[in-house]
Amino acid sequence: MSSNKWEYKIADLSNSTSMGYSNPETEEFKEKHKEKDWKLEMMNVEINKLGNEGWEMVGLNGNKEIYFKRKV
DSSP labels, 3-33: ---EEEEEEE-SSTTTTT--HHHHHHHHHHT
Q: Which of the pair, 22 or 62, is modelled with greater confidence?
A: 22
Predicted local confidence at residue 56, as pLDDT: 96
Confidence of residue 1 (pLDDT cuts 50, 70, 90): low
Provide the mean pLDDT of the chain: 91
Predicted local confidence at residue 64, as pLDDT: 79
Predicted local confidence at residue 9, as pLDDT: 94
Dist CA 71 CA 38 (whole Å): 31
3-class SS of residue 39: helix
